[in-house]
Structure 1
Amino acid sequence: MSTTVTSRNPADPADLVIEVQAPGAFGTTAAVERARVAQADWLAAGAAARSAALGRAAEAVEAHAAELAVLAVREVGKPLAEAQGEVARTVAILRYYAQAPYAPSGAVHETAAGPGLLLTRRRPYGVAGLITPWNFPFAIPVWKAAPALAVGNTVVLKPAPEASACALRLAELLALPTDVLTVVPGGAAEGAALVSAADVLSFTGSTGTGQAVVRAATERSVPVQAELGGVNAAIVLPTADIEQAAAHLAFAIAGYAGQKCTATSRVIAVGAALQPLRAALAKALAAVECGPVISQAARERLTEAVSSAVAGGAQVLTGGQLPERNGWFVEPTLLAQVPDGHPLLTEEFFGPVAVLLAAADLDEAIELANATRHSLAASVHTRDLDVALAAADRLAAGMIRINAPSSGVDFHLPFGGTQEASHGGREQGAAALDFYTASRTISLLPAGEER
């Protein structure tokens, strides 16, 4: 049974961006079966054909960059400059993976004795099922789909309902052969059906849903990766350029209203850095032009968390209010003296709210930064190279940035965290090509000889 998917502008909830029928579980399973049939021809077309198709896709996205950026602003509330940057990154990702079909897919080894060859070769699984969030409506679907397609899989994409228009328009522009890339708009029913039918799975979203996806895929012995967010820390030392650090942190906290899995939610000031950073960061956050959060429910969860912290003794250094304007806006907020164990210190809230903590020295700062099961990204701010290297060596996060916001991503390098932040193989870069393929070992021996 199909249902209707609606997506509204978070800056103007009366603005209906799209209304579309979801295919339901049956329709999703049928899409996977069509993709499985198409996969044989897509793989057989060869490296040149897949490379050219991804190259044309990059050109199409680039040609419609202005349109896509405006659509992202309207559908998911992304600031225009960030939306433009995301579209440019999407183009770059497509161009990067357009070269991947020509990459070596294995290696040749010597036999232990006698003539012959031993080969390893990586081959696609078949149909890649992708479940993506709304916060990067172009870049995340593409950084999953492009490597999967490059190595010969076909793709069925289930985007978050809040990004349905972006996903459908993206698929139109990519213009791949029939059933090579299919978008199934919908919700839990479509997601569950995709998890039950695809040959390899990649998920980005909430921890609870991601863990359910991992369990279901594991029961089927299907390769699965899941990116589940982060409770990310920034360490600021007395040797840092405090004004620069504050500017970086303000962006990492409130850029795109903090709706990034790599956003900073805990700021740890070491020793004498505390007082100057406290003032500089409060000032920098107050100056940020912050867009809306994605929904009324998201705004209510944030405001309830801030109110709970204040009731427990926290101090609001800046923000903490709801702007008097239409849409789901929240002021960039910095809190101090948040009670130990409060959810703002332990859970991902996906909003422009951060907690300022104090550490006596680097050892305590590292201990505080690592006090989470969601170690995705961290940043360290200092002019002291020895301290930066020591911190990078001891932090548990999967991605560590020195003198830069935690929220930056290099798409040609592995992306992922540790513990409950991520599961399975890394995304992006060459690591993604390995994830979407299985290794085969081939023994090629002369006819008539035995081993």
Structure 2
Amino acid sequence: MSIYEQVQAGDHVIIDNYIGGQWKAPQSGERMASLNPARRGDTVGMAPASDAKDLEEAVAAAEAARRNWGRLTGAQRGAILYKAADLLESRMEIVGRTMTREMGKTLGEAKGETARGAAILRYYAGEGMRPIGDVIPSTDADAVMFTTRVPLGVVGVISPWNFPVAIPIWKMAPALIYGNAVVWKPAAETSVTAALVMECLHDAGLPAGVANMVIGDGAVIGQAIAAHPGIHGITFTGSNAVGKQVGQAALARGAKYQLEMGGKNPVIIAADADLDLAVDGTISGGLRSTGQKCTATSRVIVVAEVYEAFKEKLLAKVNQLKLGDGLDATTWLGPCASEKQYNTVKRYIHAGVEEGAELIAGGLELEDAALADGYYVAPTVFEGVTTAMKIGREEIFGPVLALMEAADLEEAFRLANDTEFGLSASLYTRDLSSAFAFIRESEAGLVRINAETAGVELQAPFGGMKQSSSHSREQGQAAIEFYTSIKTVFVKP
């Protein structure tokens, strides 16, 4: 019985690694539970606790497969991605429900993410028919000179739990369409969802060894991927601390790497902003997915002239948000994805109070006894926050908004840039001059005007500045820059 059929039937799911076109139990014999953060007694499945032996087998399988895969035309590779997209889309309900059970986001968000994964597969399937080089004039009249692109070889993919379908697909799909083989380490917290994604690629007819999945602890498998001499490029999304370790290990052996890490994303509310629109964007950007997005709004910088009016509107809507199990259609905000993440958010809320910020909404005290079995944090708002406070400078990755008051737009721009991160930023204003000033001055890789910070479109380059990334870009046609190398060719009869 397939993994999809097991999940569909409601069976207790035991998943394996996927290596060389086969599902294989971990050589250690050890497994770990994937738990439902909304109901801690609900085990979604049992996943491998793999070790370096499993990774070695996966790298060997990828190495054996990569050359034949790279020799196929882009159209041939694209045809398989199109099939995988159709399969993923047809399985959206089960994949979405599994995602919700594993990491807590609402079913609507989970199904939307699954649909996005299918769209990304289709986008990159189309890339197989696009140009991959240029003809360059030569100084030799009898010669032809041109560029082409060649795959890196074996690409290691390390993906997080917060977008367990979209992020790995936006890494694997370009890697595959440009002719690379893949070794993927998904987050253990969302291992059943990852297996469902992998099964779509398998069922689409991906040749054995072209994509491999090894599940295990990040300190074991993730670092082994970064250090393995048979892996030619590494793409990572996760925390700054781990990302830097991955980058250092890759740099030490000369491997190519790209890192997408944290953010402390600001939204600025100008005096002329449409406050209702700004409130809706702030809530959606900061609190959807329980704030567990790298582009989530964290700092809300409001010009003094409209501070009180904005705060009043914000609190009125925040206090109406329903917290609960993501499988409940009436739920707006689910739990934190794990006990570890819940404890992290709890520490930041305590730190905010201890450092003198005023807690004006939410916090850790929940009135609903039905929520006691999950890792729930009410949507939380602080005011009086400064950039010297932890909640004003460190990534929380939870449903916490930090209000900051600015005397004017100039001070607001300064506060927005007063951070080591530079991933996403937005401004609400009716003034075109202010909008273009912010676009010019903002130190962020993604700048949005009259829209929430948490918005990434699959056809556009995505990545951050400063400590938010390795200054590379993912998604869209920009992905080709990482997953290929340029080869310049000179031909003379």
SS at match of 1:378: strand
Q: Does 2:356 match 1:313?
A: yes
Q: 1:113 to 1:45 in 2, by over 3 A?
A: closer
Tell me, in whole angstroms, the C-alpha distance in 1 between the residues paired with 2:356 and 2:79.
59
Partner in structure 2 of residue 151 of structure 1 = 178
Q: Which moved more, 1:312-321 or 1:257-266?
A: 312-321
Tell me which amino acid in the other structure corresponds to 1:77: G
Choose from 210, 225, 231 the match for 2:264.
231
SS at match of 2:140: coil
- Kindly report which structure 2 residues correspond to 1:294-309, keeping only aligned pairs within 5 A, or say none: 294-309=337-352
Tell me, in whole angstroms, the C-alpha distance in 1 between the residues paired with 2:471 and 2:431.
35
Partner in structure 2 of residue 54 of structure 1 = 81
Tell me which amino acid in the other structure corresponds to 1:192: Q
Deviation at 1:313? 2.1
Query: Is the CA contact 2:133–2:149 (under 8 Å) kept in the aligned structure 1?
Result: yes
Choose from 197, 215, 226 the match for 1:185.
215
Deviation at 1:424? 4.2
Tell me, in whole angstroms, the C-alpha distance in 2 between the residues paired with 1:286 and 1:444.
69
Query: Is the CA contact 2:226–2:249 (under 8 Å) kept in the aligned structure 1?
Result: yes
Partner in structure 2 of residue 286 of structure 1 = 319
- Kindly report which structure 2 residues correspond to 1:379-394, keeping only aligned pairs within 5 A, or say none: 379-394=426-441
Q: Which moved more, 1:391-400 or 1:173-182?
A: 173-182
Partner in structure 1 of residue 22 of structure 2 = none
Tell me which amino acid in the other structure corresponds to 1:255: R
Deviation at 1:194? 1.4
Tell me, in whole angstroms, the C-alpha distance in 1 between the residues paired with 2:387 and 2:396.
17
Query: Is the CA contact 2:463–2:471 (under 8 Å) kept in the aligned structure 1?
Result: no
Partner in structure 1 of residue 469 of structure 2 = 422
Query: Is the CA contact 1:378–1:406 (under 8 Å) kept in the aligned structure 2?
Result: yes
Tell me which amino acid in the other structure corresponds to 2:352: A
- Kindly report which structure 2 residues correspond to 1:264-279, keeping only aligned pairs within 5 A, or say none: 264-279=297-312
- Kindly report which structure 2 residues correspond to 1:37-436, keeping only aligned pairs within 5 A, or say none: 37-175=64-202, 176-187=206-217, 188-197=219-228, 198-288=231-321, 289-323=332-366, 324=369, 325=371, 326-436=373-483
Runs ≥4 residues deviating over 6 A: none
Partner in structure 1 of residue 62 of structure 2 = 35
Tell me which amino acid in the other structure corresponds to 2:346: T
Tell me, in whole angstroms, the C-alpha distance in 2 between the residues paired with 1:270 and 1:334.
17
Deviation at 1:308? 2.2
Deviation at 1:101? 1.2
Q: Could you report, residue by residue, the CA deviation over 1:99-134 in whole angstroms, capped at 9, with x for unpaired residues?
A: 111111111111113310111111001111000000
Tell me, in whole angstroms, the C-alpha distance in 2 between the residues paired with 1:135 and 1:374.
19
Tell me, in whole angstroms, the C-alpha distance in 2 between the residues paired with 1:31 and 1:319.
46
Tell me which amino acid in the other structure corresponds to 1:315: E
Query: Is the CA contact 1:254–1:285 (under 8 Å) kept in the aligned structure 2?
Result: no
SS at match of 2:410: helix
Q: 1:340 to 1:49 in 2, by over 3 A?
A: closer
How does the TM-score come out when normalised to structure 1? 0.97
Q: Which moved more, 1:322-331 or 1:32-41?
A: 322-331
Q: Which moved more, 1:155-164 or 1:321-330?
A: 321-330
Tell me which amino acid in the other structure corresponds to 2:381: L
Tell me, in whole angstroms, the C-alpha distance in 2 between the residues paired with 1:315 and 1:37.
59
Query: Is the CA contact 1:224–1:424 (under 8 Å) kept in the aligned structure 2?
Result: no
Q: Could you report, residue by residue, the CA deviation over 1:387-422 in whole angstroms, capped at 9, with x for unpaired residues?
A: 111111110010011111101111110111101100
SS at match of 1:357: strand
Tell me, in whole angstroms, the C-alpha distance in 1 between the residues paired with 2:146 and 2:307.
58
Q: Which moved more, 1:17-26 or 1:265-274?
A: 17-26
SS at match of 2:173: helix
Structure 1 gaps of 5+ residues are 447-451
Q: Which moved more, 1:170-179 or 1:129-138?
A: 170-179
Deviation at 1:371? 0.6
Q: 1:152 to 1:340 in 2, by over 3 A?
A: closer
SS at match of 2:134: strand
SS at match of 1:251: helix
Identity %: 40
Tell me, in whole angstroms, the C-alpha distance in 1 between the residues paired with 2:121 and 2:144.
35
Tell me, in whole angstroms, the C-alpha distance in 2 between the residues paired with 1:339 and 1:92.
40
Tell me, in whole angstroms, the C-alpha distance in 1 between the residues paired with 2:62 and 2:127.
21
Query: Is the CA contact 1:256–1:290 (under 8 Å) kept in the aligned structure 2?
Result: yes
Structure 2 gaps of 5+ residues are 1-26, 322-331
Tell me, in whole angstroms, the C-alpha distance in 2 between the residues paired with 1:394 and 1:384.
16
Tell me which amino acid in the other structure corresponds to 2:216: G
Tell me, in whole angstroms, the C-alpha distance in 1 between the residues paired with 2:343 and 2:169.
31
Query: Is the CA contact 2:351–2:391 (under 8 Å) kept in the aligned structure 1?
Result: no
